[in-house]
Amino acid sequence: MRILVTGGAGFIGSHVVDYFVSKGDNVSIVDNFLTGKRDNLNQKARFYELDITNFQGLDEVFKKERPDYVFHLAAGYLVQSITNPQRDAMNNIIGSINVIELCLKYGVKKLIYSNSGGASYGEPLEIPIKENHPINPLTPYGASKHTVEHYLYMYNKNHGLKYTSLRYGNVYGPRQDPKLEGGVICVFLDALLRGKSPEMKSDGTPTRDYVYVEDVVMANVMAMEKGDNECYHVATGKETSVIELFRMIQKSIGSSIEFVKGKPRIGDPARAAFDITKIKDEIGWRPEISLEEGIKRTAEWVKSQI
């Protein structure tokens, strides 16, 4: 198979690339290093340093690579979206429209889109959140990421383009950049393993649904064959508070260092946990890695980086 991964030098995207390379597939990567890193690139995949907002350049990649499947993970990030919502909209909306147009032009069999569950819904009306929950994002990132689902629906209805949209919980694991602030597990681990007190941007009570990156990769893989033209949560359905998470991390690495309180971030909901009944029933996916095991694996990677 011919696989194209946008954002393939990023945290999640690089793991998707590694999976398909390990299976012997023909893999190409598009990334502009907004959040990705050269160290994440798989040397057995072809790489194009390119911004997805560059339609002409992206067209040349599609023309040359002729992918069967496209995994669209290239995006801006939440913190940047608050300070620069215009750039966020260009990356996440205009860039995604470019990808969609070219999938249609070059006869891609299916587009698997990586969306954000945590940023899409705003303050939840119910826990766990179901896929039909009202969409009321509190950040430009959440608004722009969800907007793409409307384009996917439209292109499917009007042109027959097949897609699956995966709405992630809080993804964590090796290669997550603690400097981007989005991955609290790596932020805490990086500080504690350096002997520093991490900053907790809340009173510790907000809850999140943490899902390990390898489980997320498998959801992407399984969505190639099932779940056409649907949206699914990729999460665990389990609610963990930030303070509970911090204590788990302390215990895992044997640290007694305490956190310091910081200012809460704009747009952070008080609670989040996602119903995963739909993806279990229709695709057959379920998370395999427990939070305790995932923290242990992530800690080993963070240690190797320090």
Quote the tokens at residue 245: 């998470």
**Nearest partner of 234 among 33, 63, 11, 12, judged by Cα:** 12
Residue 254: partners with Cβ closer than 8 Å, 6 or more residues away: none
Neighbour-count burial for 175-187, b at 16+ CB within 10 Å, e otherwise:
bbbbeebbbbbbb
Question: Which of the following is catalytic: 113, 121, 141, 168?
Answer: 141
* Backbone angles phi and psi of 232, in degrees to 5: -140, 145
Distance CA 209, CA 121 (A): 14
The reply to whether 141 belongs to the active site is yes
* CA distance to 127, 184, 208, 267, per residue, from 274 (Å): 7, 18, 9, 18
Which positions are catalytic?
Answer: 141
